């Protein structure tokens, strides 16, 4: 069965931003190669301005986020939904719910709406109490207006089952197995291969970057700490000001080229993953695929992915102890091997794409059968 599928909720493809964009960048061409007619909605000011990419149709919609900040995302999502009403889609795959679920009543009729429920947005420390209340409201709307739902972590899957009594399909993110690290890349950022620690994340409080840096700066290591991420937001500026006096801390800014990202992870002595909310995090899978030795924030999401194949921290003191005391040996090499194998076995993009296609096809079948059953009952009455 060939379907007309729309993917919404991202700034667009190819990826120039984050996790959902990375998912769409792999998923959309994969579904197109499987014979489906796939459309991805892009922000009007996305760097790629073409109407087709890798066999995927691109529709640009006006996105005023550059004028109004996060509030502009609501307008962008509304514009995407209104445009979709003029097209004959079979399926709308909505990635995330924060700024789209409030427009749930406007989704086209007779279309299967599948929500990827993302992480538990209301837990994010960067949001005020009022914003968190709104995010819980948006979460409830997403449950109400979606036909079917996807969770990228068993932890999130269990949350929706417990709180709302609904089923979700578990489909994790994917990662590319990486085997061609370039030893010249670290030098471009002022560090030497194998002699630096690495943290790569958005500058947000729930990623525990301050905790990691507090622990690192109180340690006695002579190794440098490379921080990769856009420092232009408020928290980024705060971190840069606070830790700029320590010459061991190197702020590299944002890096989107995947070859560089993988090479930096591959040649790091230790890789810090401080994310404490969300589901299966793409950057964590990339670190596993790059054979990085991982020090992860101790929470259910990270433990679900890594199990015993990482070291964990929950405080600055814990970071300091690991930095000062950890010596890489055979046990650590075994961790790297097992994590690398997990990527191929559990998180490969071909497998993720196949799972999405199977779930979409199954959802359409169930949706249409249920509507036909309702129609037949109505006709008899």
Statement: the pTM of the whole predicted model exceeds 0.75: yes
180: in domain: no
What is the rounded distance in angstroms from the CA atom of residue 234 to the CA atom of residue 232? 7
- Residues 335, 341, 344, 347, CA torsion sign: negative
What's 223's domain CATH number?
A: 3.40.50.2000
- Residues 243, 249, 250, 256, CA torsion sign: negative
CB atoms under 10 Å from CB of 304, counted, come to 15
* Per-residue CA distances from 259 to 228, 286, 352, 355 (Å): 14, 11, 21, 26
Shared-domain flag, residues 108 and 228: no
**Overall number of domains in the chain:** 2
- Domain of residue 241: give its range: 186-346
pLDDT digits (tens, 9 = 90+) for 10-55: 999 999 887 899 999 999 999 999 999 999 999 999 999 999 999 9
Shared-domain flag, residues 166 and 26: yes
222: in domain: yes
Shared-domain flag, residues 302 and 368: no
Ramachandran area for residue 159 (φ above 0: left; ψ -120 to 50: alpha; else beta): alpha
Shared-domain flag, residues 366 and 274: no
Q: What does the CA dihedral 193, 199, 201, 202 come to, rounded to 10 degrees?
A: -120
Confidence of residue 123 (pLDDT cuts 50, 70, 90): low
Confidence of residue 376 (pLDDT cuts 50, 70, 90): very low
pLDDT digits (tens, 9 = 90+) for 228-273: 999 999 999 999 999 999 999 999 999 978 899 999 999 999 999 9
Query: Does pLDDT of 378 surpass 80?
Result: no
Shared-domain flag, residues 238 and 320: yes
What is the rounded distance in angstroms from the CA atom of residue 287 to the CA atom of residue 294? 8
pLDDT digits (tens, 9 = 90+) for 279-310: 788 889 999 999 999 999 999 899 999 999 99
Shared-domain flag, residues 333 and 352: no
């Amino acid at each position: 069965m060939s379907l007309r599928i729309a993917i919404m909720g991202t700034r667009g493809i190819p990826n120039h931003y984050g996790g959902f964009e990375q998912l769409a960048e792999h998923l959309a061409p994969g579904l197109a190669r499987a014979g489906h007619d796939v459309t991805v909605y892009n922000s009007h000011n996305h760097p790629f301005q073409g109407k087709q990419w890798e066999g995927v149709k691109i529709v640009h919609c006006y996105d005023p986020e550059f004028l109004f900040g996060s509030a502009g995302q609501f307008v962008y999502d509304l514009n995407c939904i209104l445009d979709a009403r003029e097209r004959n889609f079979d399926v709308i795959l909505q990635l995330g719910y924060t700024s789209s679920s409030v427009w749930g009543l406007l989704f086209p009729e007779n279309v299967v709406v599948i929500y990827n429920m993302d992480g538990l947005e209301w837990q994010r420390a960067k949001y005020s109490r009022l914003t968190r209340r709104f995010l819980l409201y948006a979460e409830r709307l997403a449950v109400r207006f979606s036909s079917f739902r996807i969770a990228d972590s068993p932890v999130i899957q269990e949350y929706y089952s417990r709180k709302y009594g609904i089923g979700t399909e578990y489909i994790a993110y994917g990662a590319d197995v990486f085997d061609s690290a370039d030893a010249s890349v670290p030098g471009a950022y002022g560090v030497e291969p194998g002699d630096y620690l690495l943290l790569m994340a958005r500058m947000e409080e729930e990623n525990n970057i301050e905790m990691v840096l507090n622990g690192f700066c109180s340690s006695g290591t002579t190794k440098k700490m490379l921080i990769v991420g856009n420092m232009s937001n408020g928290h980024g500026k705060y971190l840069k000001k606070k830790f700029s006096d320590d010459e061991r801390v190197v702020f590299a800014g944002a890096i989107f080229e995947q070859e560089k990202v993988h090479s930096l992870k591959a040649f790091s002595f230790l890789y810090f993953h401080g994310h404490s909310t969300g589901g299966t995090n793409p950057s964590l899978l990339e670190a596993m695929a790059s054979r990085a030795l991982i020090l992860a924030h101790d929470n259910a999401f990270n433990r679900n992915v890594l199990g015993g194949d990482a070291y964990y921290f929950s405080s600055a003191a814990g970071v300091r102890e690991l930095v000062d005391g950890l010596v890489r040996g055979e046990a650590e090499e075994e961790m790297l091997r097992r994590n690398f194998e997990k990527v191929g076995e559990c998180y490969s993009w071909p497998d993720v794409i196949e799972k999405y296609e199977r779930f979409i096809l199954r959802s359409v079948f169930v949706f249409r059968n249920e509507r036909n059953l309702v129609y037949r009952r109505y006709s008899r009455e």
